[in-house]
A and B are shown apart, each in its own frame.
Chain A
Amino acid sequence: MSGTIENRESFLQNIASKLNRKAGEYVKTPEWTHQPQFGVRRGASRRELTDVLKNAAEAVYTKVFETDAAGLPDQLDQVIQEYGGAPAIATRDGRFTEYGLNSLFEKYHIETWNVAEGHKNIDRAAQANIGLSVCDVMLAESATAGLYHDKDKARSVSLLPVASIVIVPASVIVPRLTQAMQQVESDIADGKEISHYINFISGPSNSADIEMRLVVGVHGPVKVAYVVVSDR
């Protein structure tokens, strides 16, 4: 699939002439002199990062629950109840089954995103009280859930319901955005196609546009919770 490019030649020619360059001529991006990002929380352990995450989550109005793989179904059950229960919708993600959550899905009649059903999925997500996703990378510094969306791991699930609950395998917790970007870079270097919609989400949607007063819950979810699975 190839798109189109219009008006490029004269546009770049104008720029290049100002810069004394040959338009579009290759340049290698240098190794930067200043790279402070790599020094932040270098060598922090998984435990330390989990604690950083918990602290940061508080600042973005997000609750963090911690459990292990064996305790996950019960913990999630409790969180779902705390956040008001069904109707709920989940992304289509093999990890839910892998984590032994099928019976919980049945208990709450949690709908799984299904592309074959088209727009119905969006209607369901818009009606849902809870959306369930599994985190692809968690940035401890800012309590940010990185979600690499595709047609199955749908973005609507963490956007439209009132509450977004994200399961976080502890193995995906990294110090900050830097490591997530490194991961994307290494996928590119390996020739993998990157996700077409990468979302880094830090807590519920909010706004301070009216007299600088914070309102939590604007267009996206009003509540967000993370369930960290320590041995996953």
Chain B
Amino acid sequence: MPMKVGNLPFFEGVDQAIHNTFMVNAVSSAQDGLREKKRKATTGDPTLGNWEDWRDAGEEIRQFTLNHLDYYLKQLSDQFAARGGHVFFAQTAEEAREYIKKVVRKKKAKNIVKSKSMVTEEISLNEALEEEGCDVLETDLAEFILQVDHDRPSHIVVPSVHKNRQQIRDSFRKIGYTGTDEPKELAGFARKTLRGKFLHADVGITGCNFAVSETGSICLVTNEGNANMVTTFPKTQITVMGMERLVPSWKELDVLVTLLCRSSVGQRLTTYVTDITPGAQPDTVDSPQDYYLVILDGGRSRALGTEFQSALQCIRCAACLNVCPVYRHIGGHAYGSIYPGPIGAVLSPILGGYKEYGKLPYASSLCAACTEACPVRIPLHKLLIRHREKYVEGGGKPPFSEKAGMKTFSIGASSPRLYRAGMKTAPFILKPLVHDGAIEKGPGPMKPWTHGRDLPQPSQEDFRTWFRKHKQSEMTGKNHETGEQQ
């Protein structure tokens, strides 16, 4: 299963994660930093007008595009090919890998440089190319760090968030680093190591933030300059995109790039927003001459026309990860999928099935902070509830014991006691809603409850405590608070 991170079952992954103090602290402080940056660049930036209007605009564009996806993909591929590019539609990860291997073989390519791309992680492209005998180099600083350590991403935007600088220094030692653990020095080492590799690589591989159907263009949104290197010096370029990552025209690109930069890293624009269209003049010195675009379904179409279609609106900004109280306590790896956090818990079961990822929708307190954060208004917590319902109904065919366990683990609305315990994970998020120790107007799933009555204010027990007790009760079949058999 290419999307899979680690081999631990979900519960054990969580167990391991919550004891990793450095990771938990690192994730918390990254969350706090990114959330504040986002606030300043969105609701806190009066020059932008009303941020809610921007979210409406994003939602409207994404919904329309998805509802007519076949047309826009046709237009994109026509335009890309009309300018000399080559388009391959891959139904599965395997088809995508095989096609890319074929291109690499045809080009007799040995040295490959890559810029950060979740979708190439999704299809395990590096391993496939290494099997072909290629040297594949990740060039985004975080991905480079992970590659040196044979590690996997734990956050969509900051993949190495779980590592500290001492760990990074020690990893770099393996490839000849002799300096200190100063971030500037570590980054300088990566710059020096990678410079020559960019200039002499045969193939450059990128992901795609947005494709523009109207002109067959690919937009990359980055900060480090490595994606520009990757798309400038190798003679062959390959871009891999999830089939939903496109906009009709440059007009919509404006709105979505704005939403992405501000929601993900709180920048007005990232340092580089680069739009590449095939067909550079043949005597251009610093441009690929062959451009390949691989468009991946990889299970995405399973969501089309269903109640889960809105999950495909996602622009991978990670704002939902940055507000999630569960992600805060368990980090990214515990999800066991390269897509962690609330969007990961929604998307992974769609792409990888309930059997593998059916438990992920339970990694949520249903506090709805994710839904509130999402710049394209994906109703994440509602989709999580639907996943749970389908999973327990038998979508994932869980064994009976698991069904019972799921009931215990569910922190949805079925039991006020569980509700209380679960909501302890997010007191800071709910604080504004609390009056006199009760929630009068709850968001999301609490709405129906609070409509007719007040909910008790969540107390301060944290996710760790909650998880420990519930893990216990799941194993013993006992409710830890009352001693009742479940």
Interface residues of B in 41-66 (CB under 8 A from A): 47-50, 53-54, 56-57, 60-61, 64
CB < 8 Å: which of A20, A33, A154, A196 contacts B60? Answer: A33
* Stretch in A4-12, A74-82, A99-107 touching the partner: A4-12
Closest residue of chain B to A3 (Cβ to Cβ) is: B81
- Check if B47 sits within 8 Å of A27, measured CB to CB: no
B183 close to A215 (CB less than 8 A): yes
* B184 contacts across to A, CB distance below 8 A: 215
Of the candidate stretches B249-257, B358-366, B389-397, the one touching chain A is: B249-257
Chain A, range 89-121, C-beta contacts under 8 Å to B: 113, 115, 118-119, 121
B301–A207 contact, CB under 8 A? no
- The answer to whether A218 and B191 have CB atoms under 8 Å apart is yes
B88 at the A interface (CB under 8 A): yes
| CB contact list, B396-453 vs A, under 8 A | none
On whether the beta carbons of A119 and B272 are closer than 8 Å, the reply is: no
B residues 246-277 near A (Cβ < 8 Å) are 248-255, 257-258, 265, 267-277
**Interface stretch of the complex, out of A64-72, A137-145, A165-173:** A137-145
Given contacts A150-B281, A207-B223, contact A199 B272 (CB under 8 A): yes
CB distance from B198 to the nearest CB of A (A): 8
**Smallest beta-carbon distance A155→chain B, Å:** 6
Report how far A196 CA is from B85 CA in the complex, Å.
12
B115's nearest neighbour on chain A, judged by CB, is: A219
B464 to chain A: closest CB distance in Å?
23
Q: Are B83 and A3 in contact, with the CB atoms below 8 A?
A: yes
Mark B83-126 against chain A: 1 for CB-CB distance below 8 A, else 0.
11111111100010001000000000000000000000000000
Evaluate contact between A3 and B224: CB separation under 8 angstroms.
Answer: no
- Which of chain A's residues have a CB closer than 8 A to the CB of B33? 212
Q: Is the CB of B286 within 8 A of A121?
A: yes
Residue pair B71, A122 in contact (C-beta under 8 Å): no
How many A-B contacts are there with CB distance less than 8 Å?
296
Q: In the complex, which residues of chain A have a beta carbon less than 8 angstroms from the beta carbon of B285?
A: 113, 115, 118-119, 121-122, 151, 154, 156
Q: Which residues of B contact A14 (CB under 8 A)?
A: 91, 297, 301
Asked if B272 and A19 sit within 8 Å, CB to CB, the answer is: no
A3 cross-chain contacts in B, Cβ below 8 A = 80-87, 278, 291
Closest A residue to B302 using CB positions: A18
| Cβ-based interface call for A190 (8 A) | no
| A177:B254 contact, CB within 8 angstroms | yes
CA distance A121 to B253 in the complex (A): 33
B78: A residues at CB distance < 8 A: 5
- A205–B226 Cα gap in the complex (Å)? 9
Nearest A residue to B273, CB-CB: A200
A12 pairs with B74, CB closer than 8 A: yes
Interface code A49-62, partner B: CB below 8 Å = 1, 0 otherwise?
00000001000100
Q: How would residues 7 to 51 of chain A score, 1 for a CB under 8 Å from any chain B CB and 0 otherwise?
A: 110111011101111011111011011111101110000000000
| Residues on the B chain within 8 Å of A86, using CB | none
Cα separation A20 to B424 with both chains bound (whole Å): 44
Of all chain A residues, the one with the shortest Cβ separation from B225 is: A220
Say whether B194 faces chain A, with CB atoms less than 8 Å apart: yes
Residue contact A200 to B272, C-beta cutoff 8 Å: yes
Point out the residue from B57, B159, B271 that lies within 8 Å of A204, measured CB to CB.
Answer: B271
Residue of B nearest to A158 (CB): B228
**Chain B hits for A7, CB < 8 A:** 88-91, 95
- Taking the closest CB of chain A, its distance from the CB of B59, in whole angstroms, is 8
- How far is B165's CA from A86's CA once the two chains are assembled, in angstroms? 36
From A12, A16, A29, contact of B249 by CB (8 A): A29
Could you pull out 23 A-B pairs where Cβ atoms are within 8 angstroms? Answer: A3-B82, A7-B91, A11-B91, A11-B295, A15-B73, A29-B249, A34-B54, A34-B57, A122-B199, A126-B199, A144-B273, A151-B284, A194-B277, A197-B276, A199-B275, A208-B265, A212-B33, A212-B161, A217-B187, A218-B190, A219-B194, A220-B228, A220-B229
Interface residue ranges, A against B (CB under 8 Å):
1-8, 10-12, 14-16, 18-21, 23-27, 29-30, 32-37, 39-41, 56, 60, 113, 115, 118-119, 121-122, 126, 139, 141-142, 144, 150-151, 154-156, 159, 177-178, 181-182, 184-185, 188, 193-213, 215, 217-221
